[in-house]
């Protein structure tokens, strides 16, 4: 069960990282299309929500990678994504530091 969850997180993070890379490359070509931005936003929301659902215990992958992934995605998309504005990442790390 735990191994399955870790695999799911790794897959979600890999998909998100590839989306961030695609978004960053489209910045060099011009503005990302609305469809690309929505796809990145949806995937990023899934990862953040997955990590939030694991509170208060959290999981190592979220502890070590969530903030960096969200920061990179936000930079690549001009901070226009939900996770850049909704404060969930700060809430996740705030809850994890309480333990």
Global pTM exceeds 0.95: no
Q: Which domain holds residue 65?
A: 2-98
Residue of 50 and 4 predicted with greater confidence: 50
Q: Residue 40: its pLDDT value, please? A: 86
Residue 24's pLDDT band (boundaries 50, 70, 90)? low
Mean pLDDT of all residues belonging to the chain: 81
- The answer to whether the CB of 99 falls within 8 A of the CB of 55 is no
Residue 30's pLDDT band (boundaries 50, 70, 90)? low
Residue of 21 and 94 predicted with greater confidence: 94
Overall domain count for the chain: 1
User: 88-95, long-range: CB within 8 Å, 24+ apart, which pairs?
Assistant: 88/48, 88/49, 88/52, 89/48, 91/52, 92/48, 92/51, 92/52, 92/55, 92/58, 92/62, 92/66, 93/66, 93/67, 95/55, 95/56, 95/58
């Amino acid at each position: 069960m735990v191994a399955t969850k870790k695999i799911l997180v790794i897959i979600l993070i890999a998909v998100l990282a590839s989306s961030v890379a695609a978004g960053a490359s489209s910045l060099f070509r011009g503005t990302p299309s609305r469809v690309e931005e929505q796809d990145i936003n949806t995937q990023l929301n899934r990862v953040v929500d997955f990590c939030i659902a694991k509170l208060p215990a959290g999981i190592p992958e979220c502890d070590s990678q969530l903030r960096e992934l969200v920061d990179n995605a936000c930079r690549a998309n001009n901070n226009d994504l939900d996770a850049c504005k909704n404060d969930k990442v700060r809430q996740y790390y705030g809850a994890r530091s309480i333990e």
